[in-house]
Structure 1
Amino acid sequence: MAGMFRRRVTTVIGGVILGLSISAMHYTGMVAYRIEGVIFWDKTYLVASVLLAMVLSTVALFFGAQNGKYATGKMTGSFALAIIGLHFTGMAAFHVTPTCLTGHSNPDEFRLLAMVIAGTAAMIVMGGLFTYFIENRTRMENIVELRQARDEARDASRAKSEFMSVLSHELRTPLTIINGYASFLTNLKGHTMAKLKPNEPISKVHFDELGDQTERYGGRIKSAGDHLLTIINELLDYTSIELNSVKLNRTSFAAGDLLAELAEQFQGLAKEKQAMLEIEYDEFDVFADRGRCKQILINLLGNALKFSSASSIRMRAKRVGDTCRLEVEDNGCGMPAEDLQRIFQAFIQAETASKSADGGTGLGLAISKKLAAAHEGDIRVESTVGIGTKFTVVLPLCASEIAAEEALVAA
């Protein structure tokens, strides 16, 4: 039992059973001792010997459960001390007063003694078989756990390899754009001068054309740089979250204002995707980290616009009891049930970047899940293929009364 469960309680129980077993073996042998005299037992030494056997047997099992260099030697020494301590303490409890009787024997007593010895031997054999089956079962369970760990490590390695492939593509694209347009800007003056006719002066028209081209190229460089910065920020966020270094700056803010700000920010992308973006909200305040809540909704809303092929996307903010519910729902392609748990794992995408022109690092939902957990909340997802998907962010800090109470306590 102790070898099977590897817990302190089972180790103590195993030590008690083992101590009682060797005590039974010892005192069964003492009962077999024949002498012409009256035998007296000191109960103090008797109880002390049994307790000593149980305590040292338990210590031996504790040492046996460890994986240290000298664990086996410590276990053997403790078990030897248990047997030796039991023996000599038990012998100290044994006193004989001689008598003048000779030739005294009791056949019934010998018969009882034989039955006790046979029963003890049977218990030892059954205990050995039981231990064998337990150890075998434990060994098989360990093999299964090792196989599962191996498969999980293999899947994690494969996911990270795919992530590195996607990441290299995601980084290469904006860097190529930045380098290309930076090269254009470097040679823009020379190209403009080369287009002039001999002895043609540079006029205001040329400066305007040059300024327009510079502004257009600079805008594309800025867009690519923003994309690159987003990827780097996601990597840094995920790393800091994995190291448990998330710091929340909790403030009180209106949920409706946050949704309105996001709707205005994503209105341009929604028009490009030919999707209608709507918001619904109750009038209440949220006491949380506004920047982190905005980051969660940006990830959810960005995924809905990029990957769902939806014609309608709706954001909601509702107060349900003592919780805040932030929802992003679309009527797009949906996701199969087997993908609903995988999408929150790092480096995993329900649709890989190679199948979508928008790409992605596969870290957005993993980061959002951990940020919600940092608020002592959660993210839930419901999706049906061909009907749509709904993400729900549940935050327990959602009432202005909470902010007022904390402000009152601080004051």
Structure 2
Amino acid sequence: MRYRTDYSPALLADTPRIMDIGTWRLHYQAYARRERDARAPVLLLGGAFQSFRSFAAEVDELLAGHPLILLDLPSQGGNLQLAPELGLEQLADLIAAFAEQLQLPPLMPIGLSYGSALAALFAARHPQRCARLLLAGITAFGRPGARLMLEEGLALLAEGRVGEFAQGALSGLLNPLHLDDTGVAPVFRKALLRQLQRLSPAEVERYRQNSRRLLDFQGFRRHPQCPTLVLAGEHDHFTQPWEHAHFAAACAQAECAVVQRADHLAQFERREACAALYRPFLGARALPRRSPGSMVLPRERLLGLEKRCEPRLAPRQRQALLRHASGQQWPVELSELGFFGGRLQGDLPAELPWRGWQLLTGALPPLHLLPLRRDGQGLAFVFPHTGAEASQALAELTRPVALAAVACA
């Protein structure tokens, strides 16, 4: 492997190197302090809407101590090649083929969001090629509520309702209840919303394929064996802290840290807190037990984290109407109401369609909801937050309460 030694942030927008593996095309850039470097390289794998430029801070931070490789697999980042026939496992195998073709030493992948699933599968399926593994926003997608929201997003895109899709996706990535905590600037939220609203047909198809891969994924048959660090945003509702902790517990040599005052984009919202952990980890040094802005969880606590991210509250106005797009409506009683979902009781049909529902309650605008599950306690539901006005009104109603833990649908 020959690394570039003239790194500057502007180069991240340059045309990448291209490697063909069979019919598949991989894009990459590689940097180091010296052209030939036999040390284990850090491999950066981004999320659904990230490009190489998203990693400018990480490259600046890590280049002094490690060679760095940025990689876009088909349908990822700046790589526009579509690959509907490839599952997550096959994409992870392409990482191994990439490493083999370049005769790289064992890698140290950093996988963020969608990239975390690819990095974790690569480590699990090719243990001899992975030295250390760092994951944030781990997307295993076993939680029913998360899967339902992803399905709803795909349905909205299929119907051409990109604005509603964008609003719902934004609420998943940036927790509206904790914007003051996470410090996300309004201008950043608006820019991300515009990016989601302006997806081209090709970008919509890439998103559809990547989401379908996550939904089709049957789970990890085996977990990484190498030293692993899992970072969870304290307020991440999209991939919740307890899910990160459970994944870490299943790994042979994993530690899990909660990054305080952060949500799904922890590595961007709390860069220094994250860097204070991945610097020693990638350098094979012990993590600090106390570090500003984060908390490393004792291993005995990994399976005991609270599975609720907002309180289950009995609303002041319990009487409501549940209305379907067919024109029918039913009186219901709300037993729980939170920003992300709730529970109600009523004399409802035995079989409920999963789309087309609105909840009419109090002075709030109509709230779109998705039925989640039905049991002896009533109907549990989630809010997809596809309408900005209704979402904001509900946030204002629920935000004042101190959030100890939420109904994790």
Q: Same fold (TM over 0.5)?
A: no
What's the TM-score, normalizing by structure 2? 0.19
What's the TM-score, normalizing by structure 1? 0.19
Richer in strand (by share): 2
Richer in helix (by share): 1
